[in-house]
Amino acid sequence: MDSVKNTSEISILSILTNFGCHFSCPYCVYKSNNINIPKTTVDSFGWEELENELKNYKENLISISGGGDPLYNYENNKEFYDKLFDLLDKYNIGLELHTSIVDYTFPYKKCERVVFHCITPTQIEGIVYLRYLLGLENIIRVVFVVQEHFNEYIVKEIVRLVKKYHINELSFRQMIGADGKPTYTLYDYLKNGHKGDWYYIEQSDYNKYFVHNHIEEEYLKIK
Ligand code: SF4
């Protein structure tokens, strides 16, 4: 596939899947806000509706995430991804994968960017090992949801590891409570560092969401 445009100026289409999840992130907005995404299967997914939508994103970048984790149970969802990558190739669309799972059997090389959602700084080394083992040259971003126990020391340790291992991008974002509102842990510190060693992402709906067979505009309203 040819390289795709940088879409930072336009809203990204985000495919939300639900293959299930390990449900071990301590800050799961999906669970705490009772988001409801139909179970994703290759047979029931709205491929025709997705293709119609993808025609608007030719030569651009879209993302895939959850409801659940898009790589959960990947072993039994290979057919889904084969079909998805064929469709993306047809329109020369790049994929940004959001996941908390390291799965050595997934074809990460087919993604333009891989965004790993981490809970602890030590997970960065697992990602580096994956990159080395599979010879990945994709853009790799690590994202940390700022948990209540985070302090400047933890942030500095994350930055140190990101620099040491030449991870391309680092972002922080806040936890979302059961009331749908973000917490503001280390807010000033992280905001002041935005576009320095990291990106600080304010809570908002930056994406259009493709859910099962239709578009949704607000994540927290997918019920
Ligand atoms: S990967 Fe997503 S859905 Fe799964 S536990 Fe973590 S935040 Fe929740």
Taking CA atoms only, the protein residue closest to ligand 1 atom 1 is 69
User: Is 1 inside any structural domain?
Assistant: no
Nearest residue CA, atom 5 of ligand 1? 23
Q: Can you give the CATH number for the domain in which 144 is found?
A: 3.20.20.70
In a domain, 160, yes or no: yes
In a domain, 5, yes or no: no
Give percent of the chain with pLDDT exceeding 70. 95
Within-domain flag for 2: no
For the chain, the average pLDDT equals 93
For the Cβ of 100 lying below 6 angstroms from any atom of ligand 1, the answer is yes
* 95 has a pLDDT exceeding 60: yes
Q: How many domains does the chain have?
A: 1
Q: How far is the CA of 23 from the centre of ligand 1 (A)?
A: 5
Confidence of residue 203 (pLDDT cuts 50, 70, 90): confident
DSSP string, 6-32: P-TTSPEEEEEE-S------TT-HHHH
Q: What is the position in ligand 1's atom list of the atom closest to the CA of 65?
A: 2
7 in a structural domain: no
Is residue 106 a part of any domain in this protein?
yes
Residue 7 has pLDDT above 50, yes or no: no
Q: Containing domain of residue 108, as a range?
A: 12-221
Burial of residue 75 (CB within 10 Å: 0-12, 13-18, 19+) is: exposed
Give domain status of residue 147, yes or no. yes
Q: Is 213 contained in some domain?
A: yes
